[in-house]
Each structure stands twice: as structure tokens, then as C-alpha cells.
A and B are shown apart, each in its own frame.
Chain A
């Protein structure tokens, strides 16, 4: 039964990560992405997936799909029908799954975050419905598979799972909220293992939307720079295998890191603009630290939401300054969106994996920008590749609609 739920454990179990998969414009898989994030590479190019010629901005961070997808339990028909979002998600799933060493089961919930599911399929549906209204070929398939839970079902079938499938859509905080909800499922004793993450494919709809808002940078994405002028859009996916420490130890599994805190809050200020002082971002970071039992002084790196828009970065910087207090003067902060763009529903999950990479490898992910930082940033921006001693990392994600979410990770050593 989902309700009544099992009684809350007297002591919430520790939750560790035993598998991680990632695909971004920097590459497919942990090694390629770790190398890219460590070096601060950028991965933007002219959009090829749709006609961007009439857009104000024409660049994005497109991911490269492989010529052949990895073998899974999908039927040939299912594999042939994979849409772009499903393919990205599946690549991340297979990597995380193999690393986790888990086997097919009916008791592993899957919690996914996304903003637009299979939107490219929805776009194809729309174009055909409008331009050739009497042509029905492919329309039933598109109508079915454009929905986000269709991508979720691909995950179940590909890996032989049959547990609960849940989808969180809190805009650009979706990935963080999915991982956080998965973490809470384990902490409250509802599951021993949860497979979780986020995904989003680049689509004309979303690209046009941000372009219409004039939120896209016509130059380059420079989070927290004084001269920043907007965000860049990207695509990708990341998945995490979460389980109790006891389960991981029993299996003698390799542990990539621990999730120790999560919180989400709601900013009612405006549908698309953050409260200027970052009050709810501050509240999310504060509450996440409370669940983790850490203070800002104990946080060694902060992966910011840092979209590169003037409003987001100013509000987030104010929130970080207030939350960190004296620690702000020395706390390394960066936004990896400078390299791969804003991955929307995938962003939080990808940035969770980046934090695990940084904690595991003991380095800071830089954003290689030459412009001076916005004076509102009291904290040092990480602007060059560097090694560091890291034990605890914090990741922020904020979404349209106002959901602000924070995750806190600890190195496993």
C-alpha cells in the first residue's frame, strides 16, 4: 500500500548513490563528462535539430546520440520507436543501472523529473495535425509517446522494472525535486532502493519560448558575470541509483557519494521572476542544511542554479550571501550551465552527478569566463580548473512557477 505507509523508521536510513549515468552535450557517460566539467569545456553549437534561422539566438548545447543504442530488454519495435527524450534518458539509465549492479525487480520505484517529456513528438503531431489534417499516419504513436510517462515506461521495460513510476514537473527544479523525492522515499522507509533522475530533449517549442522571453543569451552564457545577458539551452539526462547504506554495504557495492539533505520551497513572487532578495532560495538552502545537519561553514562547494539571466543570478547571489554569512567570502561557487546550457528538467539531476564527480575527484568545476563577476557576488566564482579538498557540496535548482530546491551531497571516503 502507498497509504497507509510503513511506519517511519526511528532513525532515517542514510542514503547513498551506487550508480550514476549522464549524457550532456559534453558527451555520453561519466568519464567524458567528468573530463569536460573538470576542464570547464563549453559545448554549444548551431542548432541542427530544428530550423532556428528565424530565432534571435541560434545556438544550443545539443547532445550527440550514438549510432546504436545500448542493448536493453526493449523489443525491437520499442527500440525503433525511441524518441529523442527517451533515447537520452535511456542512455543515462543504462549507465547508472550497470554501475549499480542492480537486477530487474518489481520493488524499485522510479522517480523522474522533466519539464517537457517528449515535446519534439508533440511538435511533429501539431505540425501534421495543422498542415495535413486528414493524414493520420504516426499520429496515434506520437499522441501516446509524447507524454512523459511514456518515457518512464520505456525505462521500466528496458530494465525489467515493474515498480511505481512517478513524474515530477516543477519546471527547471524538476530534476532536483525528483532526486529529493526519491531520497525522501528511502528516508521514510517506503523503499530500500529508488532509481531517479531527470531528462529533457531540446525542442523548438522550448527554445522558441525562452527566445520569445529574450532570456537566451545572444553572446555566451556567463553565469554571475557582471555583463551576463541570458541563458543558453541544452539537453541531456542523468540518473542515480539510490539505496540505503545498509543495502549497499550488504551488496558490497561501490558507493559514489551520499545524499544528506534536501528541501524545496515555493516562491510566490512571480511566475517567471524570482523574489529579488532570493528569500525562498535562502529558505531552501537553509532547510536543506537543517535536514543534513550541516552549516554553511561545512559546505565546500556550491553548484548554483546560475542560469546567466540578470534576475536569477542576482537573486541567487543575494540568497547565497545571506545563507552563507561569513562563509560567503571563501565559498567556491560555479554554475555548470556555462558549459552545457540549461537542461531544464534534467538540470538538477545532471548537476547532482557533477557534484558527485567533484566530490569523488576532489576538483572544482569551473566556468571559464573572463568577465568580472557581478559585484553582488561576495563569494569567489570558480573560473579556472583547480583541485580542491571537498567533503560536502550543495546544489541549487529553481524553476518557473517558483519551486526552489536544494540537495546536499557528501563525499564517500
Chain B
């Protein structure tokens, strides 16, 4: 079996456009302020944690393929490039991209359907292609130019961990040299409205997270992927709590291990995971509580936070518990390994 290392991480979140900014907010332990999100037809706004505008306009936005893209692709591209930033340049390096989405390109989906309902004859042909789930992955592949293998996975947030396992498999079969798994979501009122109907207490947010995996230990950022549990699908004979418990059973605890869970602001939704991990006595971080409910992006933040904590030497290992909203529970473990040969520490 080949060992799989984390060569870099990237994050865009309501905390800012980098892993470091996200980690600062998580370390502070204070939820970011909630902002209003106007909901047409309602006096009372919905609630969100918005991604701030970047301090400097990202250079990648000048790429022709990214001109018409919406926020989800901007977030994904920024996270991807941050995750790859520390790798030595090599145009021959084969990159694999696995883009994981739950809601996907809701901004253009909303706009296009609004136009189509109003008058199909004038609905913009430019919008429709950008609504496709595969659009962000396509743009990222065009941006990188050396990604021979690209796929888009859909599902609940646990799908991000499935993506890590798929990336490890591509590496294990020598199909790519680096596999980057990206989770991304964007905000608009329609998505927030849907979330409100499922869980009033949730605070919507958006962003992206990326984890770059490799087999070459020289590219390691000091973190190794050691386990992705079997996903425990919710089904007629397994509810969310049973699934979460099975995942915990798959992850025997280690000393001073960090738990990075998927708890948010929704007591009802969080109840199964809360119950399963109630007796956890070790260190723990809950990114969604600070950053908001960003679905697939939030699962990516969990993995980035876990990887970054290990990479920084704060913890010798970290586990990620993702108790997805309506598909599966799944777990991931990272542990420390010999780090980069130079001083760069590309996960923090």
C-alpha cells in the first residue's frame, strides 16, 4: 500500500481567503458575526456569514475561462491554487481534480431559471452552461492546463471524504502525481431559503476548501492521510446516529488527538453527532460553529483544519467526523509525518 501525504491545503471562508485566516478564527473559538441576507418577499432577512471580498483581486480572474464564472468557481480556484502553492514548479506534473459539490452553482441556476420562466425566448444562453455541476471542475482544469483526470462528485458533505479516498486511489494507481480534492459552495437567498426550511437555526455560508494529496514524501507538508472510513449510508436500517456511531467505532482514539467535527448551529441536525461524540475528552474544533453552514465547503474546511493542525505540530494526529445531513457519515484521520525539507509549511 502506498503512503499518501498532504502536500498542501487551501481555504476560502467567511474568515478570509487563506488557510491561515481560517485557522486564526478557529483558534480564537468565537463564531464570526452573522449578517442579514435579504429574502425577497420577506420582511425578515435570512442569516448568513459571507465571504469577505479578497484584499487583492486574484490574478486568476484574468483567465479567459473564469471571466463569467460565479463565486463558487472563484472560491474553488483560490483554494486550489493555495493548496498547490508550495509544490515545486513542474509543468509535467499530472494533476487530478476531484470537485465535490452539494448545492453547486446556485447563483447562475437561480438567474437562468428566473429568466427562463419570465421569457424563454430571451433567457441568456451564457448562463445555462455555468449552471452545470461540472462547470467549476472544467474551469479549474482549464486554469491548470496539466490536469489529465477530472471528475465532479455530488452528495452531502460526507462526499468530500469519499473524494479524498478517490484521490488516494488515483495516486495509488499512478494515474496522477498530485490529486486535489476540492469542496465548494456559494451563497444566494434561494439556497438559504431551502436550508431555512430544513433547519431554522442554521446560518448559511459559502467558500471552499482544498486538500492536495501526493505519494512523494518530499512534497509532504508534514501531514499524512492515514484513513478514510467506509461511508455509512443512511438507509432503512441505519439512521444518522447509528451511522455516526459506526464511524466513531472505525476510528480508535489516539493520544492528544484533535477531533474536527461537523457540528454547527442546528441542535436538531447536530443531535446524532453530539450524542455519539459526547464523551470525547480530547481537543476539539467545530468549524461550522464559527464559519457557518457551507455544506461541502464546510466538510472541506474540517479536513483542512485537521490537516493544518497536524502540519503545524499542534497535534500528532487529527480525526474528522462528518455526519452528513442526508446521505452518509464518514471519518478521516490525518497524522504527522516528516515535513517539508525547507521552511515552508504550506498547510498553515
Partner of A8, one of B150, B173, B227: B173
Are B149 and A266 in touch, CB under 8 angstroms? Answer: yes
Q: How large is the interface on B (under 10, 10 to 19, 20 to 34, 35 or more residues)?
A: 35 or more
When distances are taken between beta carbons in the complex, the residues of chain B under 8 Å from A114 are: 154
B273 within 8 Å of A (CB atoms):
no
Q: A148-B155, A156-B236 are in contact. Are A271 and B327 (CB under 8 A)?
A: no
The segment from B24-32, B35-43, B264-272, B285-293 that touches chain A is: B35-43
Are A400 and B326 in touch, CB under 8 angstroms? Answer: no
Are B231 and A208 in touch, CB under 8 angstroms? Answer: no
When distances are taken between beta carbons in the complex, the residues of chain B under 8 Å from A56 are: 120-121
Q: A5-B172, A163-B233 are in contact. Are A149 and B1 (CB under 8 A)?
A: no
Max chain A C-beta neighbours (<10 A), residue from B1, B4, B132: B132
When distances are taken between beta carbons in the complex, the residues of chain A under 8 Å from B161 are: 2
When distances are taken between beta carbons in the complex, the residues of chain A under 8 Å from B142 are: 268
B190 within 8 Å of A (CB atoms):
yes
Max chain B C-beta neighbours (<10 A), residue from A126, A212, A214, A403: A212
Measured CA separation A208–B118 after assembly (Å): 11
Partner of B128, one of A161, A213, A266, A268: A213
Are A211 and B120 in touch, CB under 8 angstroms? Answer: yes
Least CB separation from B2: chain A residue: A4
Q: A130-B41, A209-B128, A403-B150 are in contact. Are A3 and B120 (CB under 8 A)?
A: no
* B106–chain A nearest beta-carbon distance, Å: 10
Measured CA separation A126–B193 after assembly (Å): 10
**Residues of A149-187 whose CB lies within 8 A of B:** 149-150, 152-153, 156-157, 160-171, 177
When distances are taken between beta carbons in the complex, the residues of chain B under 8 Å from A272 are: 129
Q: A143-B197, A162-B237, A171-B134 are in contact. Are A133 and B172 (CB under 8 A)?
A: no
When distances are taken between beta carbons in the complex, the residues of chain B under 8 Å from A140 are: 197-198
A139 within 8 Å of B (CB atoms):
yes
Total contacts A-B at CB 8 Å: 221
A265 within 8 Å of B (CB atoms):
yes
B165 within 8 Å of A (CB atoms):
yes
Are A265 and B134 in touch, CB under 8 angstroms? Answer: no
- Binary contact track A371-413/B, C-beta < 8 Å → 1, others 0: 0000000000000000000000000000111110000000000
The segment from B5-13, B74-82, B109-117, B215-223 that touches chain A is: B109-117
When distances are taken between beta carbons in the complex, the residues of chain A under 8 Å from B21 are: none
**Residues of A259-292 whose CB lies within 8 A of B:** 264-266, 268, 271-272
Measured CA separation A4–B215 after assembly (Å): 13
Are B326 and A167 in touch, CB under 8 angstroms? Answer: no
Measured CA separation A214–B123 after assembly (Å): 11
Measured CA separation A271–B140 after assembly (Å): 11
A134 within 8 Å of B (CB atoms):
yes
Are A169 and B133 in touch, CB under 8 angstroms? Answer: yes
Q: A8-B172, A143-B194, A268-B145 are in contact. Are A171 and B234 (CB under 8 A)?
A: no
Hey, which bits of chain B sit against chain A, CB under 8 A?
1, 4, 39-42, 65, 101-102, 109-110, 112-114, 116-117, 119-121, 123-125, 127-135, 137-139, 141-142, 145, 147-156, 159, 161-162, 164-165, 168-169, 172-173, 190, 193-195, 197-198, 225-231, 233-238, 250, 326-328, 330
Hey, which bits of chain A sit against chain B, CB under 8 A?
1-5, 7-8, 54-56, 73, 114-115, 117, 123, 125-127, 129-130, 133-134, 136, 139-140, 143-144, 147-150, 152-153, 156-157, 160-171, 177, 188, 190, 204-205, 208-214, 264-266, 268, 271-272, 399-403
- 6 example contacts (A-B, Cβ-Cβ < 8 A) are as follows A133-B40, A152-B155, A153-B235, A168-B152, A169-B154, A400-B134
